[in-house]
Amino acid sequence: MGAPETDRILVLNAGSSSIKLAVFDDALTECITGMAEAIGGASAIRLGGTHEALPLPDHRTALGALIERLGACGYPLSSFRAAAHRVVHGGASLSGPVRITAKTRAEIASCTPLAPLHNPHHLAAIDSISALAPGLPQYASFDTAFHATNPEVATRYAIPSLPETKGIRRYGFHGLSYASLTRRLPEISGHPLPDRLLAFHLGNGASLCAIRGGRSVATTMGYSPLDGLTMGTRSGGIDANAVLKLVEDNGLARTKEILNQESGLLGLSGGKSDMRRLMQDPSPEAAFAVAHFCYWSLRHAGSLIAAMQGCDAVAFTGGIGENAAEVRARIIAGLDWLGATLDDAANTANAPTLHGPDSRIAVWIVPAEEEREIARNARAILQDNG
């Protein structure tokens, strides 16, 4: 592949049944976005405002179709300076953005047992780009990396150090979201980053992070993204013996399905995982699901505030965090002991600044910009390498 025509960076985020993409120029301005959705099912491609239903049996086929249509929109692979990927799990060794080489690809593959629903799809996207454009540099940013600053007392489970327990520790996730949040909040607020910041990433996947001096010191997700808060379809925290009982009664595969795909808001409400639908549903089951979500957000918030020895500000991000005013109101009402108060009009309008004039702590909305963070990481490595 020859020299690129532009400084554009292609960002890819391969999930379990979808592939999202975004194109950024050298100023990190978003040029176009798209996704292949429902891969293996009623699949379709959305790109630049268009929607096309077509069969996409697997991720390799889906990415090929996306790349073909991206080229037809004026963004051929030859025009990119680099491709950059979100990778959920980097393990203990991959604690920062890297260029993908044979060695780093092998390290990502070695983390597959830690993220079996995610890392194989990331690797498929990496390998597909390698096949389509062998000379195109590729980079990876890891969702676990932001939490590499957690102290060992926060990451180690109270289990013996044995060959059988190798790799079993807390890693934490949503790191790209939290890294972006710490970068964006000073731009939004016009003030330096608060020293003790409690960050809520609330979406279909949900977690909290205690950020002290700009560094993660504790987070709610653990060995996998299953732990912590009540989520869209994930159970959140559950006693290990309860999991063993489920495995004993139902087998491992069925237990994985129950805990990852049938639990959380979906399981509590009897069929709804979308917070917008739950808030409109008058049934007691829907009301309980929302109450459960808010209660456990607050329970974990107290733990993370203790880890920081206080709290100077709260920030919300993610689909629920940015758009569900009532959820934010319930959470901040539960933090009134911190002196937190909302400006109700600002909260209803999803304004960036949410705290009332008498609030003792600041409350903000910070839009999630994970793809831009990935592009920024790749650009930084490219600039460092000349």
User: Torsions phi, psi of 131, nearest 5?
Assistant: -75, -40
Select from 24, 143, 15 the least CA-distant residue to 82. 24
- Which residues are CB-neighbours of 26 under 8 A, at least 6 positions away? 7, 8, 81, 379
Return the C-alpha torsion angle 55, 47, 23, 375, nearest 10. -60
239 noted as active-site residue: no
- Which one is catalytic: 25, 58, 143, 358? 143
Strands 196-202 and 206-212, by their bridges, are: antiparallel
Q: How far is CA 367 from CA 263, 324, 372, in A?
A: 27, 13, 11
Structure tokens at 309: 């020895």
Q: Contact at 8 Å (CB) between 338 and 197?
A: no
Which residues are tagged catalytic? 143
